[in-house]
Each structure stands twice: as structure tokens, then as C-alpha cells.
Amino acid sequence: METTHKIRVLIAKPGLDGHDKGAKIVALALRDAGMEVIYSGLHQTLEQIVQTATQEAVDIIGLSIMSGAHLPICKRLITMMKKQGLDDIRLTVGGVIPYQDIPGLKEMGVAAVFPGGTSFEDIITGMNNLFE
Amino acid sequence: MPEIKDILLGNQRAGARMIRLIEEGSPKAFPLLKQLYPHSGNAFIIGITGSPGVGKSTLMDALILEFRKRDKRIAVIAVDPSSPFSGGAILGDRLRMQRHATDEAVFIRSMASRGQTGGLSRATKDTAIVLDAMGYDIILIETVGAGQGEFDIASLAHSTGIVSIPGTGDGIQAVKAGILETGDVFIVNKCDRPGADASVHALTMMIGMRNRGTQLSNPSPKWTPLVLKTKALDGTGVDELADTFLSHFDFLKKNSLTDQTKRTQETLYFKSLLNDLTLEKIRSFMEASPKYDAVLKKIQTHEMDPISAAEHVVNTMIILK
Ligand code: B12
Ligand SMILES: Nc1nc2c(ncn2[C@@H]2O[C@H](COP(=O)(O)OP(=O)(O)OP(=O)(O)O)[C@@H](O)[C@H]2O)c(=O)[nH]1
Ligand SMILES: [Mg+2]
């Protein structure tokens, strides 16, 4: 049978932060780049995000965080992903992320960071490059 | 690579990876599916279809809750359309069911239609086999909300629920499109809006006419479709809907109609597989021949028109004994 590989992405907003404009726009941009995007909506607990990524067998989790809590959220999520055996899923994050936090995020295992102002082109290239 | 024993134990990670292989058309999928097949055939498959935005996903969310109250393990396949331009998709059905994400007895899989018409994707049938073998009692399938022509679901599901909303003339549309014949349960959702009773009335009348027509030609026991009102947003009417689906399943079992459904499904499944496999075999055989390239070149240089070229290839390269 014909094989078709499509990148599957889960876009999730953890916690109480209600800024969903960025997440929704990025979801559309990724769809237009040929990806299949699961949008799970606002106010997701990390448990929900891990279970959703498991059931949907996504390649990428994309968190959108505007609350400033990206460091603790990513740290906890990575620990939970490891525990669940989701080693092949890449974690990415966008939103209000100060540049000085990027090295820390990468160090804990975040595969790519897309702070406010990143162009769609750079996001799409960045996502595709995760599989090079 | 997922392990059969993990899938049969209901391990969600293993099941999800298996479904991914199916969806990608991986050559690893068939050997695994063959081993899963004997363990399938126990689940009750319910299809939910209807025009875009009538509340199918919200209704599925409420149904999951009701079935969980009845201690059933639930799997969901939610199909959304792929963009014809990019081939990508936004899979948004799941958003409405997210409160069940961490319930271990619930498994939700979003799926893009990937160019398939009929409201499902190519992978839906095989995915249902995996979820069935994983031990889910009920598999709920939401089709793409395309309005008309989602008949594929009726050949896959034991029970098909057709969702409409008050005052859209959906009833009339349903008759025109022939949807009426495929429904086992008719749901008028958003009954908090005016005109719900009128819609229920109109649908009930049309079903009455439909049944008079079929009773003459088919004397076997016949399920009379029910029309129910729901407000999916707060679950009003959904307890009755859940019971109705379950009693339809009992009805099918009591009258040995599940076996008949299964036979029909398996025949259809066999034929569609045969189509795919034959086509693939013939195509790869033809494409491997140098003659094929020669003909292709003739089309590109306008020495041959595409119709004659296709006829030439089929007539000279496929030798039927
Ligand atoms: C619009 C806006 C709002 C709107 C939100 C509308 C909505 N539905 O989204 C409203 C008015 C509701 C609002 C409310 C609030 N806001 Co406000 N808001 C903004 C503002 C001005 C713009 C955000 C935006 O939509 N940008 C446009 C989108 C396209 O950009 P983006 O989200 O950054 O996304 C880009 C990238 O980050 C990346 N990206 C984002 N997500 C993802 C995900 C993935 C997977 C990938 C790959 C990439 C990616 O891609 C996008 C394109 O480059 C920002 C200021 C700012 N500089 O960001 C403040 C800001 C985010 N808000 C802020 C605050 C404090 C609030 C309030 C708490 C204010 C209050 N006291 O009430 C409330 C909280 C609301 C809530 N419930 O959470 C602060 C957050 C402070 C912090 N982090 O420390 C900011 C930074 C303003 C500031 N400088 O103080 N806000
Ligand atoms: N008033 C009212 N709104 C409802 C009801 N059920 C669903 N909705 C709303 O209808 C909108 C569409 O609901 P969905 O469940 O996404 O509809 P759908 O049929 O799955 O849509 P598609 O998958 O896009 O075809 C949402 O805003 C729901 O909140 C209801 O019973 N009453
Ligand atoms: Mg839906």
C-alpha cells in the first residue's frame, strides 16, 4: 500500500493562561504546511497533554505558554514524558519566552523554542528540521 | 514497533503506534493486523454523522460520560477533513471530549480524512479492528461533517446515529440524500433552540413512511428507528440516547443480525482490499517494465495520446490466462 508520512503535532495550552491567539494561528500555519494538527484547547493539565500525545501518537508536542511559567512546566512535562516512555516525541514551546531562558529550556530537553515574533516560515522550517 | 501482546492487553501506547502504522500504509501493519483480527468482533460500533456544526463531537463527549456510567470501556475515532490544498488538517473534534483524556478506560484517536470521500478515512476500518482487539466495549466513530453522502459509516457501524438541529430543513435534505435509509437513531440536537418538536415530528413521519416501504419487501424483524431530542451541551436526553443505542445492539444480537452485519462488513472489506492489492500488484508489475517507460516518453513527446497509451499498456502488458 502507498505509504504516506505526515507530521502529527499536538498543540496544547497548559495551565490557566487564556491567550489562545498564537496557538490557533500556529495551528493553521502548520496545517497549511501539510501537517496534521490536533488542537486540544485551553486549560490543559500536563496529565491530559501526556495522555493525548500517547493516544494520538504524535511526533511533536507544541506548547503555547504566555504566563511566564514555561521553565517549571517544561521540566515537569519532560519528566512525565520520560516516565510514560514517550522518548520519540519532540517537545517544542512558543509564546512569551525571554531569550535568556532558551538555553535552559534546551538543556532540559526541549527540542525547539519559538518565542513571540518568530515568523511562520521559521516555525515550519524548525519543525521539519526536528526530523533531519 | 508495537507488540501484539501489549495491544491485546489494551496498552494505549502500543495501540496508538499500531494505528499510526496503519494510517501511514506501512508494510509492517498488515502482518500485525492479521494477528489482531481473530481478537476483534466483540465491540459495539456506533457511527455518529450529520452536517458540520450540528454538535456531533459535543454529543460524543456526553455519550462517553453516559457509557462510562454504565461501566463500558470506550474508544473514539474522530474524523475531520484534510485540506485539499496542503494535505494538512486541523483535528478539532477532540477538543470537545478532552475531559475524558485521562480516563484510562477511554481512548480517543483523531484522524484526517486524507482525501477519502464518504466521511471516513482509509484507515478507519482497520483502526476499529485494533481498538476492538484492545478490548474496548464500544467504539464511537464521528464522521466528517459533510452534510450528505456519508454512507460509508453505515457499512462499518452496527448502529448509525444521524444528528440534525431544529429548523434547518435537514429532515427534507435527509430524504433527498437518502440518509434516512442508513439511520438507526435520529437525534435532534440543540433542542434548547426553537423548533425542536417540529423537527422531531417531521422526522418521525418520514421514518414511518420509510418503514412502510421496506416492510413489504423484507419480512425479517425490523428495527424501528427512534427520534430523540438532546442538548449535548449539558447532556439533556443523552442518557436515553445511550440506552437506545444499547437496546439497538441487543436487538441486533437477539435477531442474529450482528452476524449478518459482520458478514456484510467482511465481504465489503475483502472486496475493497482486493481492489487495493490487485491494483497495486498490477501497477508495480507494469511500472517495472521498460515498455512502460517507453510509452510514458511517447506521451511526453506527444507521439501518443494518453487514452491510446493507457489502452496499449493494459492490452499488451497484462496477459490474462
Ligand atoms: C492579545 C493579548 C491579550 C488578549 C488575549 C486574546 C487571546 N484570546 O489570545 C487579552 C486581552 C484577553 C489578554 C489578557 C491578559 N493578558 Co495578555 N497579552 C496579549 C498580547 C498583547 C499579545 C498576545 C498575542 O496574541 N500575540 C499574537 C500572537 C500571534 O503571538 P504569540 O502568541 O506570541 O505567538 C507567536 C509565538 O509566540 C509563537 N507561538 C506561540 N505559541 C506557539 C505554539 C507553538 C507550538 C509554536 C511552534 C509556536 C508558538 O508563534 C506565534 C507567531 O510568532 C501580549 C503581549 C505580547 N507581547 O505577547 C499580552 C501578554 C501575553 N498578556 C499578559 C497579561 C499579564 C495578561 C492578563 C493577565 C492581563 C490582566 N491583568 O488581566 C490577561 C490574562 C488573560 C488570561 N486569561 O490568561 C502579559 C503576560 C506577562 C508574562 N508572561 O509575564 C503579556 C506578555 C503583556 C505584558 N507585556 O505584560 N491578553
Ligand atoms: N445551543 C447548543 N449548542 C450546542 C449544543 N451542542 C453543541 N453545541 C455547540 O455547537 C457548536 C458545534 O459543536 P461541535 O460538537 O463541534 O459540532 P460538530 O458537529 O462536531 O462539528 P464538526 O465536527 O465541525 O462538523 C459548538 O459551539 C457547541 O458548543 C446544544 O445542545 N445546544
Ligand atoms: Mg466534530
Pocket of ligand 2 from Cβ distances under 6 Å: B 52-58, 93, 96, 145, 189-190, 192, 231-233
Amino acid at B86: S
Is B270 part of any domain?
Answer: no
For an interface test with B, the pick among A55, A60, A80, A124 (most B C-beta atoms closer than 10 Å) comes out as: A55
B177, pLDDT greater than 90: no
Q: Which pLDDT tens digit goes with each residue over A37-68?
A: 999 999 999 999 999 999 999 999 999 999 99
CATH number at residue B169: 3.40.50.300
Q: Which pLDDT tens digit goes with each residue over B229-282?
A: 999 999 999 999 999 999 999 999 998 888 877 788 888 888 888 888 888 888
Is B240 part of any domain?
Answer: yes
Q: Which residue in the block uniquely carries the three cell numbers 494520538?
A: A56
ipTM: 0.96
The conformational region for residue B268 under phi > 0 = left, psi -120 to 50 = alpha, else beta, is alpha
CA B143 to ligand 3 center in whole angstroms: 8
B85 burial via Cβ count (<10 Å: 0-12, 13-18, 19+): exposed
Q: In terms of residue numbers, what domain contains B101? A: 38-256
Architecture of domain A8-123 in this structure? 3-Layer(aba) Sandwich (3.40)
Domain edges within chain A: 8-123
Structural domains of chain B, count = 1
User: Hey, what's the cell of A7?
Assistant: 507530521
Determine if ligand 1 sits within 6 Å of the CB of residue A42: no
Is B159 part of any domain?
Answer: yes
Is B315 part of any domain?
Answer: no
Backbone torsions φ then ψ of B109, nearest 5 degrees: -125, 120
Is B266 part of any domain?
Answer: no
Looking at A44-53, A107-116, B215-224, which range is the least confident one? B215-224
Q: Which pLDDT tens digit goes with each residue over B130-147?
A: 999 999 999 999 999 865
Is B5 part of any domain?
Answer: no
Backbone torsions φ then ψ of B86, nearest 5 degrees: -100, -20
Neighbours of B105 (CB within 10 A): 17
Count of A-B CB contacts under 8 Å: 96
Instruction: Work out the percent of chain A whose per-residue pLDDT is above 90.
Output: 92
Is B189 part of any domain?
Answer: yes
pLDDT of residue B321: 43
- Contact by Cβ (8 Å): B153, B161: no
CA A63 to ligand 1 center in whole angstroms: 13
